[in-house]
A and B are shown apart, each in its own frame.
Chain A
């Protein structure tokens, strides 16, 4: 072998005997063209969507999710393919990314994410890699198409403009607010339960209950008219108070006290007179059955002219969703509130608005966060019950 290399080097290291200089130059030139073309073609081919989804890990998971989004199909017919967002366009960063793909080749060979379950388990980590890149380069790959300077504020919806304009002034990174725009969010952030909330749910599941005491729901709790828990009567919102009347097996007899509007079916039970803070939502059949309620005081809200009545109703609920106090719930809600809002702007203090202003405020904003419906209800209630109606020294 060494002899072969030595012989090879001897031929290479002295002027050619048989081949003319012209032929050598042509050979080198042609080889150069073929190499350069081949190199670029290889880069191009590995930068196509067809190449990306040639492995089922990408095709069955992230590509399927992309298909439902505006980046796949829209009225103008311009679309983003995988590499548009996921491969840097700058040459050095692109080559580095291509080398990082050796990790993906490894994963494809050894099946690191070859089942939907394995993929879901890794989704948060994988997403965090991408978010870190977008965060560092100020969402450069988005900006290859989208540009703050080309946005027509007048054509934008009012709500969109209210957020986009301040973001443009600060040249904010797109992904700060638009995570999950092309693929599902990791379940830890979206549909799944936050570990902090899960801990509270565990506490509720194991809580010792005493008849006659007041308890609070951690998440929504279904209500039934019968102790067998067969006939649905509605549900309690998170962080709503009930009085425990009695226990029968797995069923709890609870009394919900609140105020109802004397208008429509009165399906919603509110926390207090004139306050749009829901504590329970009842089925129509239950809400219209006056015999079920022990009605109290009637009062007209001068501000709206609506008549309210104080009402108690006793229903059944499944064991395991109640906590003896709601300070921990408020702590969780407060954390979620500030985390969710401060991504884009400073959050107003809960006492900045009154209880009846918060629902409209909140529903206008919450779409920009990744709170699930359950958490949204809890946070809204936290804000309302800590609003200027309840806080001291509030404006």
Chain B
């Protein structure tokens, strides 16, 4: 079984092949923007949820 020549088979919807630059674009976008933003949003949302909880159940008690 010989080594296949690299011929990109993955294509975009309209048939244009996915370029290397496009792939990097997506990777960097996800790792440095989308996931960090999501993490901050989740932690922040958790904080807000706890705050709202405190409105009903009062401030945190002692451990």
**Which residues of A pack against B, CB within 8 Å?**
6-8, 10-12, 14, 16-19, 24, 27-28, 31, 34-35, 38-39, 88, 90, 92-93, 95-100, 132-133, 135-138, 140
A12 pairs with B60, CB closer than 8 A: no
Of chain A, the residue at the smallest CB distance from B46 is: A95
Question: Nearest chain B CB to A9's CB is how many angstroms away?
Answer: 9
Q: Which residues of A contact B31 (CB under 8 A)?
A: 27-28, 31
Q: Which residues of A contact B8 (CB under 8 A)?
A: 17
Q: From the candidates A18, A28, A93, name the one contacting B50 in the complex (CB within 8 A).
A: A93
A88 pairs with B23, CB closer than 8 A: no
A137 pairs with B62, CB closer than 8 A: yes
Q: Which of the four size classes fits the interface of chain B? A: 35 or more
Of chain A, the residue at the smallest CB distance from B16 is: A7
A19 pairs with B60, CB closer than 8 A: no
Q: Does B3 contact A (CB under 8 A)?
A: no
B61 pairs with A18, CB closer than 8 A: no
- What's the Cα separation between A373 and B22 when bound, in Å? 77
B60 pairs with A93, CB closer than 8 A: yes
A99 pairs with B44, CB closer than 8 A: yes
Q: From the candidates B22, B44, B62, name the one contacting A11 in the complex (CB within 8 A).
A: B22
B27 pairs with A132, CB closer than 8 A: no
Of chain B, the residue at the smallest CB distance from A35 is: B36
Q: Which residues of B contact A137 (CB under 8 A)?
A: 59-62
B59 pairs with A31, CB closer than 8 A: no
Q: Is the interface of B mostly helix, strand, loop or mixed?
A: helix
B10 pairs with A31, CB closer than 8 A: no
- What's the Cα separation between A133 and B31 when bound, in Å? 38
| Total number of residue pairs linking A and B with CB closer than 8 Å | 93
Known: A17-B8, A88-B60. A11 touches B47 (CB 8 A): no
A96 pairs with B61, CB closer than 8 A: no
- What's the Cα separation between A99 and B49 when bound, in Å? 9
Q: Which residues of A contact B22 (CB under 8 A)?
A: 11
Q: Which residues of A contact B26 (CB under 8 A)?
A: 8, 11-12
Task: For the A-B complex with A31-B35, A96-B51, A137-B62 known, give 9 more contacts whose Cβ atoms are closer than 8 Å.
Answer: A10-B13, A16-B27, A35-B35, A39-B43, A93-B50, A95-B44, A133-B59, A136-B58, A136-B62
Of chain A, the residue at the smallest CB distance from B53 is: A96
Question: Nearest chain B CB to A212's CB is how many angstroms away?
Answer: 58
Q: Which residues of B contact A99 (CB under 8 A)?
A: 44, 47-48, 50-51
A96 pairs with B23, CB closer than 8 A: no
Q: From the candidates A8, A28, A96, A98, name the one contacting B54 in the complex (CB within 8 A).
A: A96
- What's the Cα separation between A92 and B19 when bound, in Å? 44
Ordered by A's residue number, 8 sampled pairs between the chains whose C-beta atoms are within 8 Å are A8-B26, A16-B27, A31-B35, A95-B47, A96-B51, A97-B47, A98-B47, A135-B59
Q: Which residues of A contact B18 (CB under 8 A)?
A: 10-11, 17-18
Q: From the candidates B27, B51, B61, name the one contacting A100 in the complex (CB within 8 A).
A: B51
B62 pairs with A138, CB closer than 8 A: yes
Q: Which residues of A contact B43 (CB under 8 A)?
A: 39, 95
Question: Nearest chain A CB to B56's CB is how many angstroms away?
Answer: 13
Of chain A, the residue at the smallest CB distance from B31 is: A31
- What's the Cα separation between A136 and B57 when bound, in Å? 11
Q: From the candidates A27, A38, A136, name the one contacting B59 in the complex (CB within 8 A).
A: A136
Contact with A along B1-38 (1 / 0, CB 8 A): 00000001110110000111011101111111001100
A17 pairs with B62, CB closer than 8 A: no
Of chain A, the residue at the smallest CB distance from B50 is: A96
- What's the Cα separation between A133 and B50 when bound, in Å? 14
Question: Nearest chain B CB to A149's CB is how many angstroms away?
Answer: 15
B24 pairs with A12, CB closer than 8 A: no
Known: A95-B43, A98-B47, A99-B48. A16 touches B59 (CB 8 A): no
- What's the Cα separation between A12 and B30 when bound, in Å? 9
B23 pairs with A27, CB closer than 8 A: no
Known: A10-B12, A17-B18, A93-B50. A24 touches B27 (CB 8 A): yes
